[in-house]
Structure 1
Amino acid sequence: MRDLIKEAIADLKKGDGFIYVTSDGSKIDLHEAASKGIAVTPVNPKDQVIKKLEAAGLYLNDGRFLNELNELISLVTGNSTASKTSKRRSFTDAEKSKIVEEWKKVEAAGKKTKAAFAREIGVGYQTFINWLRS
């Protein structure tokens, strides 16, 4: 699956806009095909990638599937999507001070980056940096 995803990314990042396939469906460089006299068909790489991913069971054009996949990823990684849809929260000065003190303990232990800590507590990275400066 990982190789399929890497190949899909590589195909989509190519700058020429199309990939070229022979009659048997093999990818070939346009210049190589021309020099060998092989007939090719230009194919939109996005269409090819979608077909390959769907053949592997990844339906990226299905919104419901994507929502379920994102939910699964957030549950497995521990990154809750609830914080993205929840109302913005204000912190009191006392709460900010307590969070900064907690960060100093975490930093001394060398366990996390500032960005990871900010995500964990549900605060934007730049907001957290501003708290550290004040």
Structure 2
Amino acid sequence: MKDLIKESISDLKKSDGFVYVTAEGEKIDLHEAAAKGIAVTPVNPKSEVIKKLEAAGLDLTDSKFLNDLNELISLLSGSGSTKGKSGKRRTFSDSEKSKIVEEWKKVEAAGKKTKAAFAREIGVGYQTFINWLRD
């Protein structure tokens, strides 16, 4: 699975829009094919990658599965839970901001986290958090 994912990433990064495939199904550079007089078919690399991943059991057309997979990756990478995130901007009341700043003072005194890590944990942009500390 690891090799398949690496290959998929490589295929998507190196393509300039399309991958060219011979009648036998082998990938070939367009200029090389033209020089050798080989007929090729342009193929969208995203479609090919999706087909390969689905053949390996990853259904990338299922939005629920993709959401679950993204949440798993987020949790494993340490960027926190995606629970409650809707992609919309969150507004904090003055009392909420005060409580968060007070909580930061406790965390800072304990020396356990950086400001950036704390801001990420509470779901606030770093610069926004810094502005709250200045107020």
Q: TM-score, normalised by structure 2?
A: 0.74
User: Could you tell me which of 75, 81, 90 is aligned with 2:93?
Assistant: 90
1:104 is aligned to 2:108: yes
Compared CA separation, residues 101 and 112, structure 1 to 2 (3 A): closer
- Measure the CA separation in 1 of the matches of 2:77 and 2:22: 41
- Secondary structure at the residue paired with 1:42? strand
Partner residue, 2:115: 114
Q: Does 1:18 align with 2:18?
A: yes
Q: Distance in 1 between matches of 2:101 and 2:114?
A: 18
Structure 2 residue 62 is the aligned partner of structure 1 residue 41: no
- Contact map agreement 2:104 2:118 (CA 8 A) in 1: no
The residue identity in structure 2 corresponding to 1:105 is: A
Aligned-pair distance for 1:120?
A: 1.5
Comparing 77-86 with 37-46, which one deviates more in the overlay?
A: 77-86
Asked whether the equivalents of residues 100 and 131 of structure 1 are also in contact (C-alpha less than 8 Å), the reply is no
| SS of structure 2 residue aligned to 1:17 | coil
1:20 deviation in Å?
Answer: 0.5
Question: What amino acid maps onto 2:72 in structure 1?
Answer: L
> For 2:28 and 2:62, how far apart are their aligned partners in 1?
30
How many positions carry a matched residue from both structures?
Answer: 131
RMSD, matched Cα: 2.8
- For the 8 Å contact 2:59–2:65, the answer to whether it is kept is yes
Percentage of identical aligned residues: 66
**TM-score normalised according to structure 1 size:** 0.74
Structure 1 unpaired stretches of 5+: none
Judge which range, 18-27 or 90-99, deviates more. Answer: 90-99
Q: Deviations over 1:74-106 (max 9, x none)?
A: 554562122414975435264144233134336
SS at match of 1:84: coil
Structure-2 change in CA distance of 1:73 and 1:59 (3 Å): same
Q: Helix, strand or coil: the match of 1:72?
A: helix
